[in-house]
Structure 1
């Protein structure tokens, strides 16, 4: 399945507005890292490697809201670290939803039951729970036993209270087509999450385990086999159909790093969420002072194995919206 209808309409209106204004580079979604601290130490993430004084910092509400308004993205992913460790994260969500932004709060869900009473269900808000495999595999990925069961319990709690719940699953070279099938079928059919996001893992420079990341051909083979026999059409994805084609190797895109910019306590990250080539103070500086042409596969060796959704989903969305055939396919695909 493709993107939910109300998100497709929101994105479509945003794209039309940029075209009318003749804006060449603009965000589809902005990722706001409200803190770097986390209650887990995942092997494929390097966020908690920051110095202790940085890990203690929390982004003020108005700073987070101001960054979203500055770039004008219609959708927002609030991340970290673990956002539910931020004492005012519920107020950040409230302010953004009030401004009619679509907000996903990315969480490992361990603290969700404790804080869920601070949030209200809304069509423009969804929990985004990280689930990286079934029980044994997920707990190994986050380096702590019992996390999978608690996350699934939290998802069911949120669903019972009327919230939308999305999941985000990152896959590594430790995965097989069957492990992908198992977790997506479980989340889709048994847990009943509203939408699922998937992405091959990207080799964070500070990640403790550097031996788990997929290459391009590994990624294509993994998803081609996992999506076979009609399974892809049965799963409720939060992706464009062209991005899923891209994961299978059916189409090729250049990365669109400016499509999902990242803002944190350090400022706007250059050039994207996955690579740390410095930070600038304003979104205008990010757009104007970044040499976008030097990034991407075949240009920067750090990009050679990247097929992450933060770089290629924007490419797929732009290709979809720029083609009547693909736009109709996105609407009608089931």
Structure 2
């Protein structure tokens, strides 16, 4: 089982090669599409749900979502939020993106999966990404609602039974049991989960000061990832690229490429990145041209000091790839 279908892997590679041949220094890899910022959970470490009611009460129409996909031109779209399944037209949004032959990832906490499971068809370009921060007690504590872990596990089984591609996304916080997380990832892969994603949590300024102790510093995140990967063992199929995993484990340094994962939310094109909101732009081109990219990233901006999020660094693994890294990427793409 490869990380993605062969045709899709070839399409992604062709896109990157064409951008480089055209001399483009900055180009999008994954559009972070947020049709709504509303959510049915109040996760302890989330800054998104603590935005103003003006933002939370807005949502993008189907037409606006698809226009953003066309405007950006990235080969992949991650539908995030908020909780995307809260959006009443999410099925039409997903189908419209797939009709454009984009790799489509639908990120969800799993609670409302029943709304869409029988309305979507399995597609090699489509993946449900379930938010799962760890074993039952830890996950339910972080999402601040008992029973959600069991809902997620039930949803994963239901999606796999219907033939969907499924991934999980585990956000790492201080105090998590690395051995238990590694064991959970093995269990998930034994259940048929296609890929697992690891990412240290971003230190949101909006989070209650009383809870900011849950966020990891870089050295703490690297130690935690090393322990999880070691415990998970070779049976776990990580969706993270090997280069990004090296970065997470402290084996490699990468510079953030925030333009690789541009964000469109109900207020416009968000700059400078998925995590920081300094301004909203009317167009993708304006956001790319007017953002002072050199002012962001580790060592450049204090808000970026602890950030190791995949939305900032996964594209870096492609942009800063050496020949040796390229060979590793090829083996990773087709590893079983």
Asked if these proteins are the same fold (TM beyond 0.5), I'd say yes
Q: Per-residue displacement from partner, 1:117-152 (whole Å, max 9, x unpaired)? A: 111110111111100111111000100000000111
How many Å apart are 1:232 and its aligned residue? 4.6
In structure 2, distance between residues paired with 1:113 and 1:84:
10
Residue 9 of structure 1 deviates from its aligned partner by: 2.2
Give the match for residue 306 of structure 1.
307
- The answer for the alignment partner of 1:40 in structure 2 is 41
RMSD: 1.6
Could you list the runs of 4 or more consecutive aligned residues of structure 1 that deviate by over 3 angstroms after TM superposition?
5-8, 51-54
Structure 1: 5+ residue stretches without partners: none
> Under a length normalisation based on structure 1, what TM-score does the superposition of the two structures give?
0.94
How far has the Cα of 1:228 moved from its partner? 2.5
Q: Secondary structure at the match of 2:171?
A: strand
Moved more, 50-59 or 127-136: 50-59
Cα deviation, 1:17-42, whole Å, max 9, x if unaligned, reads 11222221111001011001111110
Contact 1:240 1:317 survives alignment (8 Å): no
Residue 43 (structure 1) shift: 0.4
SS in 2 for 1:118: coil
Alignment of 1:1-334 (within 5 A): 3-4=3-4, 6=6, 7-189=8-190, 191-208=191-208, 209-228=211-230, 231-320=232-321, 323-333=322-332, 334=335
SS of corresponding position for 1:227: helix
The alignment of Structure 1 onto Structure 2 pairs a total of residues equal to: 330
Q: Distance in 2 between matches of 1:8 and 1:248?
A: 25
Deviations 1:245-277 (A, max 9, x none): 111111101111111111101111111111111
Using structure 2 for the length normalisation, give the TM-score: 0.94
CA-to-aligned-CA distance 1:144-177 (integer Å, 9 cap, x gap) = 0000001110110011011111111101112132
What's the offset of the Cα at 1:178?
A: 1.1
| Separation (CA, whole Å) in 1 of partners of 2:244 and 2:311 | 11
Deviation by residue 1:9-64 (Cα, 9 ceiling, x = unmatched): 23211111112222211110010110011111100112222333432322100101
